[in-house]
Amino acid sequence: MTTRVPSARQMHWHEHPFYGFVHFGMNTFTDQEWGSGGEDPALFNPAQLDCRQWARVAKEVGMQRLILTAKHHDGFCLWPSRWTEHSVKHSPWKGGRGDVVAEFVEACATEGIEAGLYLSPWDRNHGAYGQPEYVEYYHRQMDELFGGAYGKLYEIWLDGANGGDGWYGGANERREIDRRTYYDFPRIIDKIRTLQPDAVIFSDAGPDIRWIGNESGTSEPACWGTIDPSKIVIGDADCSYLAAGEEGGTHWIPPEVDVSIRPGWFWHPSEAPHSLRRLISIWFTSVGHGHGLNLNIPPDRSGLFAEEDVLQLRALRHAVEANFRTDLAEGAEIEDVPDGPLTRVVHLPPKTRANCVHLEEQVEKGQHIAAFEVDVRQDGAWHRIVKGGTVGARMFVPFEAVLAEALRVRVTRAIGPVTLSRLSLYHAPNVPL
Ligand code: FUL
């Protein structure tokens, strides 16, 4: 079996590329991004917490999945872990008898979306952080969360961040770990595979999906789903390698674009959601480039998605729907002409107005297109409008609107047999130009 094509688990993920991150926890109440770990659990008190609202909104706007920060770097656990006192069980929320993770997975199941969890390896609360004992603690927490008590999970998000200083049981010091060896990621990944075989595992290096290399929602138009994971140290990755992938890389580990709808990952009273224009642009450089879009919506202190965030999500959904309602290539005469690895012509009604082409390769058979060009024919003459790089699972290419009588896609370089399984054309009202 070749490792250069998607597994069934990865294909499922490719088919559902839009999902949401939920950064929620102690930081929501302390107005921080990275809590030190010494925060008082008494501060956690979301008076109206309603995971059903999160799941309902996600479902309504077309997200397939939500991923909750069960534990962020500050170590505060949103479930009553047996292995620490730094959790919801010492908070006033529900008199210390609540379990946000349980409510979250149940809400996702009720709304018919998939649940995933983030469990930060870096823990600024734990006194043994940096010692082998902490790694065993992390394993016990994986057993609690992934071992079946919370049901089936669909994505496990392994964070690479490791900033050094923290509270660490009151020591208040800087602790360095060896990023290559301390966590023993292969052992962590084996455990997740055993406990949650259907979950895609995210980290800088996969094994299922990789980081795109930035948190701003952007990506390059040329990008390979393949990389060589042995070249990556989780938490110390070469971001440009992650962004480009590797032509002929050894393993299919496509990128996830993770980005927040607001400047921060956690909710802050002074921040507002990004403009619709920015969100549309993020959509094009994530879903539109064949990657996953993990769009973070941070619940506020009441425990709900903020109304202004919900309005932006709905606006994004409507903008995307309006863009791709009518495929101008549907029903058109398609002709393959013998020129290069593949040249396909779409004959259109005269003066068809278009500004976006949508291509897909059948990645089950491998990603092979390395360069392509799009031309239009006007009054009998061909004009090039776009030069592209890779195609992969999905590639939306926006361009200045043109009037055309035919459109031609020419694959100019390929590293294997070309299968253009989709060629659609739109006149999209919301393109980022
Ligand atoms: C990073 C973390 O340091 C941020 O706080 C956030 O959780 C982001 C998704 O991942 O590594």
Name the residue at shortest CA distance from atom 2 of ligand 1: 161
Binding site membership of 103 for ligand 1 (Cβ less than 6 Å)? no
Residue 111 sits in the same domain as residue 201: yes
pLDDT of residue 112: 98
Name the residue at shortest CA distance from atom 1 of ligand 1: 161
CA distance 406 to 427: 14
Residue that the structure tokens 């479902």 belong to? 59
CATH number at residue 228: 3.20.20.80
CA distance 293 to 20: 8
pLDDT in tens, 117-170: 999 999 999 999 999 999 999 999 999 999 999 999 999 999 988 879 999 999
Residue 160 Cα to ligand 1 middle (Å): 8
**Is 202 a domain residue?**
yes
Nearest residue to 154 (alpha-carbon basis) of 286, 15, 329, 313: 15
Domain termination residue (choose one: 303, 323, 343): 323
Domain termination residue (choose one: 267, 294, 323): 323
pLDDT in tens, 186-207: 999 999 999 999 999 999 999 9
Domain termination residue (choose one: 323, 351, 375): 323
Task: Quote the pTM value.
Answer: 0.98
CA 53 centroid distance within chain: 21
Q: Residues 215, 258: contact at Cβ < 8 Å?
A: yes
Binding site membership of 161 for ligand 1 (Cβ less than 6 Å)? yes
Model confidence at 223: pLDDT above 60: yes
**Is 249 a domain residue?**
yes
CATH number at residue 391: 2.60.120.260
Residue 284 sits in the same domain as residue 363: no
Residue 342 sits in the same domain as residue 317: no
Residue 244 sits in the same domain as residue 390: no
Residue 140 sits in the same domain as residue 115: yes
Domain that holds residue 102: 8-323
Q: Residues 68, 118: contact at Cβ < 8 Å?
A: yes
Residue 99 sits in the same domain as residue 244: yes
Binding site membership of 256 for ligand 1 (Cβ less than 6 Å)? no
Residue 271 sits in the same domain as residue 313: yes
Residue 161 Cα to ligand 1 middle (Å): 7
pLDDT in tens, 234-251: 999 999 999 999 999 999
Mutation probe of ligand 1 site: the residue of 265, 266, 295, 296 with most atoms within 8 A of C-beta: 265
Mean of the pLDDT values across residues 103-125?
A: 98
**Is 133 a domain residue?**
yes
Mean of the pLDDT values across residues 385-391?
A: 97
The total number of structural domains that make up the chain: 2
Name the residue at shortest CA distance from atom 10 of ligand 1: 159
Residue 345 sits in the same domain as residue 310: no
**Is 116 a domain residue?**
yes
CA distance 95 to 22: 23
Name the residue at shortest CA distance from atom 4 of ligand 1: 265
pLDDT of residue 1: 55
**Is 328 a domain residue?**
no
What CA–CA distances, in Å, run from 411 to 212, 249, 362, 369, 396?
A: 25, 21, 15, 7, 15
User: What backbone phi and psi angles, to 5 degrees, belong to 109?
Assistant: -60, -45
| Residues constituting the chain | 433
- Which tokens is 363 given? 């990645």
Residue 218 sits in the same domain as residue 309: yes
Residue 355 Cα to ligand 1 middle (Å): 36
Q: Residues 73, 118: contact at Cβ < 8 Å?
A: no
Mean of the pLDDT values across residues 205-219?
A: 98
Residue 250 sits in the same domain as residue 349: no
Q: Residues 418, 361: contact at Cβ < 8 Å?
A: yes
**Is 433 a domain residue?**
no
Residue 121 sits in the same domain as residue 239: yes
The long-range contacts involving 89-93, CB below 8 angstroms and separated by at least 24 positions, are: 89/41, 90/41, 90/42, 91/41, 91/42, 91/43, 91/44, 91/45, 92/42, 92/44, 92/45, 93/44, 93/45, 93/46, 93/49
Q: Residues 126, 137: contact at Cβ < 8 Å?
A: yes
Model confidence at 341: pLDDT above 70: yes
Q: If you average pLDDT over every residue of the chain, what do you get?
A: 97
Residue 71 Cα to ligand 1 middle (Å): 11
Residue 23 Cα to ligand 1 middle (Å): 9
Residue 99 sits in the same domain as residue 22: yes
Could you tell me where the DSSP H helices lie in 44-184? 51-60, 100-111, 132-146
**Is 431 a domain residue?**
no
**Is 243 a domain residue?**
yes
Model confidence at 185: pLDDT above 60: yes
pLDDT of residue 398: 97
pLDDT of residue 319: 98
Q: Residues 270, 310: contact at Cβ < 8 Å?
A: no
pLDDT in tens, 348-363: 999 999 999 999 999 9
